[in-house]
Structure 1
């Protein structure tokens, strides 16, 4: 049977089932879940009218990126909701649960940092990306870790909260330089902490000017009392506040906290720009660039919804662009009534032209209802200027992304071709590279990365647990992994590489060639990347027997080899750490009396990692029905092992 013909028949059968289901779709709001041939959810969307929106995927023509999504669809489900707000929240939850490949995803490693005032007897300041329901105070989000750390650094100088994760037995340096009240030795009253927390909260909520005035008053008092050293410290703190706030671009008279959103789309990519306005001043901005496959505005709203779903620090007001808002009224005229309701007529006109997606007005109303935060679609005046500024920045960031992609493509594809010519190959497109990782033979692993035309093809990366080799034998490890990889390539008729690269010199090259030629009958060029004394890429060796290839150290070809070696080494090391970390977690927790398998799983599920358990307070264990005595034993055992 022709596989292509079989696939076409399977697709036609699936489309027949889809057509029957399309006829039954309701005229109601809700979410739809698109599935592929394996039943995996590949896209989640929301709609004001499910019937119109879902049908639009299977009628008419689509652009290239949407066509890729549609070509993968073999079935769909839908869930009716009671309102647009419910559809918005349900879509967010479904995306987080299923991680569909075609959806806009706010991934965990992209979460924003917050500054946290811990809820403890002696509170601390810390920067965290993990927001817990632990009665602590969270402020943010900050666009990047640097901004959060700089703010915390300033507050550490201004307010003498304790700095130590674990209470020491005697006073430390922070006490001697006036940055800690030394609760380890001295009694500190609650009223002292309450006053500091109130001032820190005011500062982090935008009350910089009030704090600055108070510092100026204290500085003058210190100078009058001839305490010039203290006056200088206060002057430095004032200067640090000014330095922290000097990047402000826009101010508004009402001193309100706002998040201003703008977005731009081009060539299947979207950029969302967020401007952070605090106390009426723009203090920071953040851009996220990602591919998208659905309707632009609908996917933009998905981004905004996910952004706020785990965000405990909400502004007083959110400004969004309109769905097809091209106005550019920057004359500073008075702003009209700009709530979402006042724009309903205009939005309905827009939505009559296409499928019933959850448009600008519906989205703004849903966000207002869900978050309890006023969400506006400004049409003119200063607020419209702020939204346009966000849109302009998004457009610039997207153009910069394309320029970088084009530059990298020219550099890397040209480098791959030139590298092939340098080693005598007519064509060099696909390179598969291998690296081994172990510590004194423990948990030996290997990894393979693939570069096509000089660019990493991450979906084709592979990890290997070494099965047959005992101890740190790099040559035998290479033989096993090369054998396993290319036996599978031959068995499943996968594409063969134009060149194989191994991490090492003559021994690793010879081991790989022996397996390829004498066991598998494959004749593929094998190169070895040799490192220097500083563990950096030094040269490429190719051939049998291996000979060095002369490449200038500043050439694009050499740069490509460095990228390949760094990438495969990173991938192998990360896999090895993952395996080693799992075994270490088990051994560390299992060695504590009173902790069995059930409690170990419960602890890891609740805290997320060994590091978080170690940093927890006794109170954090109580929701798990773990008493204070056992909690102290767990914390002390983990901290003692680290020290």
Structure 2
């Protein structure tokens, strides 16, 4: 723990909401945090070692000074923490990875404002809407605006003085109907501003209001027999309704809310954000967070919410969340939906964040395969309740043919991949007849007795292909060797892919799509393949040897000698008398040749 006198520092820290900052021996800011109660939160860092994780212990050991800022509410602390982290980027705070420059739609502050996309925000009083994480969505909206409204695209200074002085002439855009010619007073400022007001409503998700107004114009124009105006606005109405049908995902009664969800692993977290206005998603983004101190999902989600609300200038008073977040604020409602439209929105957000997580991790693992290995092993450790990562796994399988030629095979996986040079098979020595349990017991005992004698490292996980009986046999051997507490052993039953643990009456079932189960199945199948291959060779050799021994004058040792030299009966049959005479006497050569000639004749 730190040599820093934290008890003295705590006396000056009040029981109020705020932000705390930790500094190291060089007075460098190393961590920023928020708290509902500053003193209680800061003191929690200086508890006994066993109650905090390793990364936090390292942080605490470096603290030499504490600075704090009191605020009125927890929500203020939340926002202040976010802005300070972005400004100072302390070493032990999480990294919000979002290095992209997202585009905005800007309504330029100028006479007859232009509407266009930009990646640079200039503080000139213009209205910026966004940012748009999806460039495609932004262009769809700009295309809608272009198709529906005739706005100028030139950058001429259209001041009343310049227009009245006749400094400008209409261009090709006017000639082809894309502009109404405000540069020559062909379009009034009031008419142009009406279009801009409607565009602002569309960009703010209030497209329903615009459609309502357009319908009224169509109706009034038709009643006044102004069919040209009615026709033009009817076309505008069709475009707006088509866009609305694509963008509306929930009931239009749901207005001005934020939706967030998170997916994380040991190193990274990914948070998705949806901004919903009038039932339409008008903003969406997913960010990546690199963990620093084993932060909880609750902490990470709180930080990400503050980041999103600042970036997207959110004014919503309701946030849909996937779980409870310890954040109290009278002006902010956190909703954990159980069903209905809000639940659908949360599920949509979760679908997005899981897809983003999968894609990102795949990218990282392609660049660095070790990351995938670590992730898979960590997943196996968690799924199988192991105490350490299973870098070394061994799997046993038995084979026999009607009780004859029993063999055992062992395959080895290192870092979740086959290590074929370490595969082994065993000719069973102590078992007579078809006794699968005794065969397993012998194989396990012989394998680990030798490993102990040779001071080899034991595997972290042993898998037995079979149910409770085979598992019990394996455990019996491990107990005889005194290593049953040093390794984890499980059995896998083939029919329902049940996993059995010693002394557990009920099996454990893994998700059929989980990587852990897939690796266990791969081990089991590889052990079965390796065992069957060896067993067939032994069985075939045994059958052939029996056939040779039945030939009068060819005994057991002679049959073995022939098979060892020629490898198969076919080659023995094809061998010349001269080749056979190198292993047999003249009488045996004649006997063998006559036997094969008679067999062929029959």
Normalised TM-score (structure 2): 0.50
Shift of 1:67: 5.2
Specify the alignment match of 2:321 in structure 1. Answer: 320
Q: Is the 8 A contact 1:263 1:391 kept in 2?
A: yes
Shift of 1:402: 2.4
Specify the alignment match of 1:204 in structure 2. Answer: 203
Q: Is the 8 A contact 1:34 1:41 kept in 2?
A: yes
Specify the alignment match of 1:394 in structure 2. Answer: 353
Q: Is the 8 A contact 2:205 2:282 kept in 1?
A: no
Equivalent residue in structure 1 for 2:68, among 58, 65, 78: 78
Specify the alignment match of 2:303 in structure 1. Answer: 302
Residues 18-50 of structure 1 deviation map (CA, whole Å, 9 limit, x = unaligned): 454346543322211122343221221101122
- Measured at CA, do residues 219 and 177 of structure 1 come closer, stay the same or move farther in structure 2, by a change above 3 Å? farther
Q: Is the 8 A contact 1:113 1:143 kept in 2?
A: yes
Q: Is the 8 A contact 1:245 1:283 kept in 2?
A: no
1:19-168 alignment, distance < 5 Å: 20-22=8-10, 24-59=12-47, 60-61=49-50, 62-63=52-53, 66=56, 69-70=59-60, 73-104=63-94, 109-110=99-100, 112-129=102-119, 134-167=124-157
Q: Is the 8 A contact 1:113 1:127 kept in 2?
A: yes
Shift of 1:404: 2.8
Specify the alignment match of 2:443 in structure 1. Answer: none
Q: Is the 8 A contact 2:258 2:274 kept in 1?
A: yes
Tell me the matched-pair count.
Answer: 356
- Structure 2: stretches of 5+ with no match in the other structure: 158-166, 374-602
SS in 2 for 1:302: helix
Does residue 1:360 correspond to 2:350, yes or no? no
Give me the whole-angstrom Cα distance separating, in 1, the residues matched to 2:297 and 2:359.
Answer: 20
SS in 2 for 1:306: helix
Equivalent residue in structure 1 for 2:362, among 403, 406, 423: 403
Residues 266-291 of structure 1 deviation map (CA, whole Å, 9 limit, x = unaligned): 21312111123221134553211121
SS in 2 for 1:262: strand
SS in 2 for 1:15: coil
Give me the whole-angstrom Cα distance separating, in 2, the residues matched to 1:131 and 1:16.
Answer: 45
Q: Is the 8 A contact 2:261 2:321 kept in 1?
A: yes
- Measured at CA, do residues 398 and 232 of structure 1 come closer, stay the same or move farther in structure 2, by a change above 3 Å? same
Higher Rg:
2
Shift of 1:94: 1.9
Give me the whole-angstrom Cα distance separating, in 1, the residues matched to 2:136 and 2:57.
Answer: 40
Give me the whole-angstrom Cα distance separating, in 2, the residues matched to 1:169 and 1:148.
Answer: 31
Give me the whole-angstrom Cα distance separating, in 2, the residues matched to 1:65 and 1:233.
Answer: 63
Consecutive aligned runs of 4 or more in structure 1 exceeding 6 Å deviation: 213-222, 224-228, 230-234, 411-414
Give me the whole-angstrom Cα distance separating, in 2, the residues matched to 1:251 and 1:270.
Answer: 27
Q: Is the 8 A contact 1:261 1:387 kept in 2?
A: yes
1:183-332 alignment, distance < 5 Å: 183-186=182-185, 188-209=187-208, 211=210, 235=235, 241=240, 244-245=243-244, 247-248=246-247, 250-282=249-281, 285-293=284-292, 294-312=295-313, 314-315=315-316, 317-323=318-324
Give me the whole-angstrom Cα distance separating, in 2, the residues matched to 1:252 and 1:18.
Answer: 53
SS in 2 for 1:162: coil
Specify the alignment match of 1:376 in structure 2. Answer: 334
Give me the whole-angstrom Cα distance separating, in 2, the residues matched to 1:207 and 1:16.
Answer: 56
Give me the whole-angstrom Cα distance separating, in 2, the residues matched to 1:117 and 1:97.
Answer: 29
Give me the whole-angstrom Cα distance separating, in 2, the residues matched to 1:35 and 1:146.
Answer: 44
Root mean square deviation, CA, Å? 4.0
Shift of 1:155: 0.6
The range that moved more, 247-256 or 36-45, is 247-256
Shift of 1:119: 2.5
1:202-601 alignment, distance < 5 Å: 202-209=201-208, 211=210, 235=235, 241=240, 244-245=243-244, 247-248=246-247, 250-282=249-281, 285-293=284-292, 294-312=295-313, 314-315=315-316, 317-323=318-324, 359-362=325-328, 365=329, 368=331, 374-382=332-340, 383-410=342-369
Specify the alignment match of 2:432 in structure 1. Answer: none
SS in 1 for 2:80: helix
Normalised TM-score (structure 1): 0.48
Give me the whole-angstrom Cα distance separating, in 1, the residues matched to 2:190 and 2:24.
Answer: 60
